[in-house]
Protein backbone atom coordinates (compact mmCIF):
# COMPACT_ATOMS: atom_id res chain seq x y z
CA UNK A 1 0.00 0.00 0.00
CA UNK A 2 2.98 2.30 -0.58
CA UNK A 3 2.44 5.26 -2.84
CA UNK A 4 5.24 5.61 -5.35
CA UNK A 5 6.81 9.04 -5.36
CA UNK A 6 9.62 9.83 -7.73
CA UNK A 7 12.19 12.15 -6.12
CA UNK A 8 13.47 13.20 -9.57
CA UNK A 9 10.11 14.79 -10.29
CA UNK A 10 10.75 17.27 -7.42
CA UNK A 11 7.24 17.22 -5.99
CA UNK A 12 6.07 19.84 -3.50
CA UNK A 13 4.40 18.85 -0.25
CA UNK A 14 1.12 20.77 0.04
CA UNK A 15 0.10 22.03 3.46
CA UNK A 16 -3.16 23.60 4.49
CA UNK A 17 -3.02 27.15 5.86
CA UNK A 18 -2.49 25.63 9.33
CA UNK A 19 0.69 23.91 8.11
CA UNK A 20 -0.73 20.42 8.27
CA UNK A 21 -0.66 18.25 5.17
CA UNK A 22 -3.88 18.47 3.19
CA UNK A 23 -3.90 14.69 3.14
CA UNK A 24 -1.70 11.94 4.55
CA UNK A 25 -2.81 9.09 2.36
CA UNK A 26 -2.16 9.58 -0.34
CA UNK A 27 0.23 12.30 0.81
CA UNK A 28 -0.73 15.66 -0.69
CA UNK A 29 1.96 16.31 -3.29
CA UNK A 30 1.95 18.47 -6.39
CA UNK A 31 4.21 18.26 -9.40
CA UNK A 32 6.70 21.13 -9.55
CA UNK A 33 4.75 22.52 -12.51
CA UNK A 34 1.55 22.74 -10.48
CA UNK A 35 3.42 24.18 -7.51
CA UNK A 36 4.92 26.95 -9.67
CA UNK A 37 1.54 27.68 -11.20
CA UNK A 38 -0.02 28.05 -7.72
CA UNK A 39 2.83 30.36 -6.66
CA UNK A 40 2.26 32.54 -9.74
CA UNK A 41 -1.49 32.64 -9.03
CA UNK A 42 -0.67 33.74 -5.47
CA UNK A 43 -2.58 30.81 -3.95
CA UNK A 44 0.29 29.44 -1.86
CA UNK A 45 3.24 30.53 0.23
CA UNK A 46 6.59 28.90 -0.34
CA UNK A 47 7.64 27.28 2.92
CA UNK A 48 10.78 25.47 1.78
CA UNK A 49 12.74 25.11 -1.44
CA UNK A 50 14.87 22.69 -3.40
CA UNK A 51 18.30 23.79 -4.58
CA UNK A 52 17.14 23.37 -8.16
CA UNK A 53 16.50 26.67 -9.94
CA UNK A 54 14.29 27.07 -12.97
CA UNK A 55 14.81 29.87 -15.45
CA UNK A 56 12.49 31.48 -17.91
CA UNK A 57 13.19 34.57 -20.00
CA UNK A 58 11.43 36.74 -17.42
CA UNK A 59 12.26 35.17 -14.07
CA UNK A 60 14.13 32.55 -12.16
CA UNK A 61 13.18 30.81 -8.97
CA UNK A 62 14.04 27.87 -6.81
CA UNK A 63 11.56 25.03 -7.00
CA UNK A 64 9.38 24.86 -3.90
CA UNK A 65 9.63 21.66 -1.85
CA UNK A 66 6.90 22.69 0.62
CA UNK A 67 4.03 25.10 -0.01
CA UNK A 68 1.13 26.16 2.19
CA UNK A 69 -2.28 27.30 1.00
CA UNK A 70 -3.09 30.95 1.63
CA UNK A 71 -6.70 30.19 2.43
CA UNK A 72 -7.60 27.43 4.83
CA UNK A 73 -9.50 24.53 3.32
CA UNK A 74 -11.91 23.19 5.88
CA UNK A 75 -11.72 19.41 5.93
CA UNK A 76 -15.03 17.60 5.56
CA UNK A 77 -16.29 16.73 9.05
CA UNK A 78 -17.63 13.39 7.95
CA UNK A 79 -15.56 11.51 5.42
CA UNK A 80 -17.40 10.34 2.33
CA UNK A 81 -18.53 6.73 2.33
CA UNK A 82 -16.33 5.33 -0.42
CA UNK A 83 -14.62 2.04 -1.02
CA UNK A 84 -11.23 3.70 -0.52
CA UNK A 85 -12.25 5.25 2.81
CA UNK A 86 -13.66 1.94 4.09
CA UNK A 87 -10.35 0.27 3.22
CA UNK A 88 -8.45 3.10 4.90
CA UNK A 89 -10.57 2.83 8.05
CA UNK A 90 -9.81 -0.91 8.07
CA UNK A 91 -6.11 -0.27 7.31
CA UNK A 92 -6.28 -2.18 4.05
CA UNK A 93 -6.67 -5.46 5.91
CA UNK A 94 -9.30 -8.14 5.63
CA UNK A 95 -11.34 -7.84 8.81
CA UNK A 96 -11.68 -11.62 9.06
CA UNK A 97 -8.17 -12.97 8.39
CA UNK A 98 -5.89 -9.93 8.14
CA UNK A 99 -4.87 -10.48 4.52
CA UNK A 100 -3.93 -7.42 2.50
CA UNK A 101 -4.50 -9.13 -0.84
CA UNK A 102 -7.54 -9.09 -3.05
CA UNK A 103 -9.64 -6.78 -0.88
CA UNK A 104 -13.37 -6.51 -1.44
CA UNK A 105 -16.32 -4.87 0.28
CA UNK A 106 -18.23 -7.21 2.65
CA UNK A 107 -21.68 -6.63 4.13
CA UNK A 108 -21.50 -7.96 7.72
CA UNK A 109 -25.27 -8.47 7.71
CA UNK A 110 -25.80 -9.65 4.14
CA UNK A 111 -27.87 -7.49 1.86
CA UNK A 112 -30.18 -10.44 1.26
CA UNK A 113 -31.02 -10.30 5.00
CA UNK A 114 -31.65 -6.58 5.00
CA UNK A 115 -28.10 -5.40 5.73
CA UNK A 116 -27.46 -1.90 4.49
CA UNK A 117 -24.52 -0.40 2.61
CA UNK A 118 -23.37 1.90 5.40
CA UNK A 119 -20.29 2.55 7.52
CA UNK A 120 -21.62 0.36 10.31
CA UNK A 121 -22.34 -2.66 8.11
CA UNK A 122 -19.52 -2.76 5.57
CA UNK A 123 -15.95 -3.95 6.13
CA UNK A 124 -12.89 -4.75 4.05
CA UNK A 125 -12.66 -8.48 3.39
CA UNK A 126 -10.40 -10.49 1.12
CA UNK A 127 -12.15 -12.26 -1.74
CA UNK A 128 -11.75 -15.77 -0.21
CA UNK A 129 -13.26 -14.66 3.16
CA UNK A 130 -16.03 -12.80 1.39
CA UNK A 131 -16.85 -15.91 -0.62
CA UNK A 132 -16.70 -18.13 2.44
CA UNK A 133 -18.99 -15.88 4.44
CA UNK A 134 -21.44 -15.64 1.57
CA UNK A 135 -24.98 -14.79 2.63
CA UNK A 136 -24.62 -15.85 6.25
CA UNK A 137 -24.79 -13.88 9.46
CA UNK A 138 -21.50 -13.65 11.43
CA UNK A 139 -22.83 -15.93 14.17
CA UNK A 140 -24.06 -18.56 11.70
CA UNK A 141 -20.59 -19.13 10.27
CA UNK A 142 -18.56 -17.82 13.22
CA UNK A 143 -16.84 -15.10 11.23
CA UNK A 144 -16.77 -11.83 13.16
CA UNK A 145 -14.98 -8.72 11.95
CA UNK A 146 -11.90 -7.80 14.06
CA UNK A 147 -13.27 -4.37 14.76
CA UNK A 148 -16.92 -3.50 14.84
CA UNK A 149 -17.54 -1.38 11.76
CA UNK A 150 -18.02 2.29 12.63
CA UNK A 151 -18.40 5.70 11.10
CA UNK A 152 -14.87 7.18 11.17
CA UNK A 153 -13.97 10.81 11.62
CA UNK A 154 -11.56 12.59 9.30
CA UNK A 155 -9.10 12.38 12.17
CA UNK A 156 -9.39 8.57 12.27
CA UNK A 157 -8.66 8.34 8.55
CA UNK A 158 -5.72 10.75 8.81
CA UNK A 159 -4.28 8.69 11.62
CA UNK A 160 -4.58 5.50 9.63
CA UNK A 161 -3.14 7.19 6.55
CA UNK A 162 -0.01 7.96 8.51
CA UNK A 163 0.68 4.24 8.70
CA UNK A 164 1.32 4.28 4.95
CA UNK A 165 4.20 6.65 4.19
CA UNK A 166 5.18 6.88 0.53
CA UNK A 167 8.43 5.29 -0.63
CA UNK A 168 10.21 8.63 -0.60
CA UNK A 169 10.10 11.65 1.73
CA UNK A 170 12.22 14.74 1.18
CA UNK A 171 14.02 15.99 4.30
CA UNK A 172 12.29 19.38 4.10
CA UNK A 173 8.92 17.64 4.49
CA UNK A 174 9.78 16.02 7.78
CA UNK A 175 8.99 19.03 9.96
CA UNK A 176 5.38 18.84 8.79
CA UNK A 177 4.85 15.09 8.90
CA UNK A 178 4.58 13.00 11.97
CA UNK A 179 5.04 9.41 10.94
CA UNK A 180 4.69 6.60 13.42
CA UNK A 181 7.24 4.46 11.68
CA UNK A 182 11.00 4.66 11.67
CA UNK A 183 12.11 5.63 8.17
CA UNK A 184 15.11 4.48 6.19
CA UNK A 185 17.66 7.22 5.45
Residues that bind Zn ion (CB under 5 A): 94, 96-97, 99, 126, 129
CA–CA distance, 136 with 10 (Å, rounded to integer): 50
Which residues lie below 8 Å from residue 121, measured CB to CB, with a gap of 6+?
A: 107, 108, 109, 115, 149
CA–CA distance, 137 with 133 (Å, rounded to integer): 8
CA–CA distance, 139 with 85 (Å, rounded to integer): 26
Q: Which is nearer to Zn ion, 35 or 88 (CB)?
A: 88
Pairing of strands 122-126, 12-15: unpaired
Q: Which is nearer to Zn ion, 115 or 128 (CB)?
A: 128
Contacts of range 142-148, beta carbons closer than 8 Å, 24 or more positions apart? 143/96, 144/96, 145/95, 145/96, 145/108, 146/93, 146/95, 146/96, 146/98, 147/90, 147/95, 148/120
Q: Which is nearer to Zn ion, 96 or 168 (CB)?
A: 96
Q: Which is nearer to Zn ion, 25 or 96 (CB)?
A: 96
Q: Which is nearer to Zn ion, 86 or 94 (CB)?
A: 94
Amino acid sequence: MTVNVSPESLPALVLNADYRPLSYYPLSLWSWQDAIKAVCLDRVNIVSEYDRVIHSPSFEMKLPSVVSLKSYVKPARHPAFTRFNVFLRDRFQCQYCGSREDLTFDHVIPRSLGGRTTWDNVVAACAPCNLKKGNKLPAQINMHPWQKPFHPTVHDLHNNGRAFPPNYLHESWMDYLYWDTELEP
